Each structure stands twice: as C-alpha cells, then as structure tokens.
Amino acid sequence: MPVLIQLSVWCKPKHLAIICVMKKLFQLLPLAIFIAVLVAWPALAPLFDSAQRTFQRFWSPATDTQVWGDAGSAILPATAQMMASRHPPGQALDALQKKYLRPMFGDLVDRVQVNYNAKLTDRWSSGDRKIHLGVVDSTAQAFCDRIYLQASYQPGDTIQLVALAHELTHFQQCLQLGGIQNFGSRYFQAYYRANQKYADNQFEKEARAKERQFITTLCQQINCQNPHGRYYINYRGTNTKLPIRIQE
C-alpha cells in the first residue's frame, strides 16, 4: 500500500492516478521478477536442472547415439542366434588358411568356425533402426567367432582368404570390446555417426585396412611380382598381381 500511495503522488492529474500507477508497476515488473528469482533460486535450480536433462534425453545427438547403441546390443546377439540356428556347426580353417592368416591374427585362426554356402542377411534392423549391409558383408558376415561365407569352400582361393581376413578383423574387434553385445552397441553407434553409411563405419574402415595389410603380407609370402598361373592384374585397384589360387 505505501508503494501505491507513493506512486499515486507521482501521477498527475488525480483522475488518471490508477492508470499511471499501473504503468509504473509495469515498468518495475522486470526488476521485481529478477529479485524474486534471486530469492527463490535455491528452490528453482533443481527444477531447471531436471528440465535440462529431460531436454537432452529427448533431443541431444548423444542420446540418439545411445539409442542406436542400445539397438545394436540387442540386434547383433539375436541375429547371431538366428544365423546359428539355421546353419549346421561351422568348420575350422584349413591348414593353408591358418598358415597365411596366422601372422596377422594369431590364435584367432584356431578359434574361429566358418560356414560356407551360408544364407546371409542383407540388413540388421530393430524398429526404424536398420543397417543395410555393404558389398563385403552381403557375401561374408562375422558374428564374433562364427564366420558365414556365401561362397562354397575353395581351398587355396585368394579371394576367400581376403574375405576371411576382413571377417577375422571383426572377430578381433568383438574380443577387444568384450563380446558380441558390446560390439553390437559400438558398431551401431559408429554406423549412426557415419551418417548411416555402411562404408564409412569406422569398424568397416578398419577391416578394409586390414584387408590391404593382409594382401601386402600375403604377397610377400607368395611373390605377387612374379605370380605363377592365373592372377588378377590389378586386384581391387591395389596394383597387385594377386594369384587367383595359391599352389602348394
């Protein structure tokens, strides 16, 4: 009341006092709100923090990445079980495959099982989150220690060796991340970060790099400079005369 009386004293003429008082109050409103917020801030702060967390949970890119990770941690183990259920037990790598793959992959060559003539899936999906598999994984796929190849078993075939090197890289990645569930989570997150482009997924980039490294190592062993028999003139643009089949 004293404030209103003081304000009315400022206002002339008297018949406009009410309107003038309202205008003065309106002018003082921002200051009043500021003072009220300062006084009430200890009680309001938790509410603001909660609202911020809610916003981040529904809208932040990091949350989207986590959603993709959660999908992958469920999809990959489930798909691995489905693939195992519709194929017979896999077979071990043969002696020649182990010989050339062991320098890069160590004892993984003794632990992996391979299914040839496999029926592969062309995508992994959960709801609206799908991974459309690329050229390599449409002909060969790995679920940690189980590798599925679309082609039949071809002893000494270099293309098959390169495909096995790619898939063994995924086996390595799976072990490094602690198993198929974590691998699935990280793989799906990487796919999301790559703008949902299979070829740009960091795990696929690493596998392709291992392919190239394997080809270099293999050529040092079998002498690709002077190959015997039929060979690829420029294998996958690597300027490598890769023999079609290793003769031993």
What does the pLDDT look like over 145-167, one tens digit per residue? Answer: 999 999 999 999 999 999 999 99
Look at residue 238 in the predicted model and tell me its pLDDT: 77
Residues 6+ apart with CB under 8 A from 108: 168, 171, 172, 175
Give the phi and the psi of residue 62 in degrees, each rounded to 5: -60, -35
The answer, yes or no, to whether residue 214 has pLDDT greater than 90, is yes
Pairing between β-strand 146-149 and β-strand 113-115 as defined by DSSP bridges: parallel
Look at residue 129 in the predicted model and tell me its pLDDT: 55
Mean pLDDT, the chain, integer:
81
Is pTM, for the whole model, over 0.85? no
The answer, yes or no, to whether residue 232 has pLDDT greater than 80, is yes
Q: Do 169 and 137 meet the contact criterion of CB atoms below 8 Å apart?
A: no
Top pLDDT among 121 and 133 is at 121
Look at residue 93 in the predicted model and tell me its pLDDT: 98
Look at residue 124 in the predicted model and tell me its pLDDT: 58
Closest alpha carbon to 170 in 209, 215, 203, 137? 203
Q: Do 85 and 198 meet the contact criterion of CB atoms below 8 Å apart?
A: no
pLDDT tens digits along 80-99 = 999 999 999 999 999 999 99
| CA separation for the pair 161, 232 (Å, rounded) | 14
Residue ranges per structural domain of the chain: 2-58, 68-243
Top pLDDT among 231 and 39 is at 231
Q: Is 142 exposed, middle or buried (0-12, 13-18, 19+ CB in 10 A)?
A: buried
The answer, yes or no, to whether residue 142 has pLDDT greater than 80, is yes
Q: Do 133 and 121 meet the contact criterion of CB atoms below 8 Å apart?
A: yes
Q: Do 143 and 80 meet the contact criterion of CB atoms below 8 Å apart?
A: yes
Look at residue 226 in the predicted model and tell me its pLDDT: 79
Q: Which amino acid is at 9?
A: V
Q: Do 196 and 129 meet the contact criterion of CB atoms below 8 Å apart?
A: no
Look at residue 125 in the predicted model and tell me its pLDDT: 54
Top pLDDT among 128 and 180 is at 180
What's the whole-number mean pLDDT along residues 229-245? 82
The band of 2, judged by pLDDT with boundaries at 50, 70 and 90, is very low
What's the whole-number mean pLDDT along residues 4-30? 56
Q: For the residues of 44-69, what is the DSSP string, one character each?
A: HHHHHHHHHHHHHHHH-HHHHHHHHH
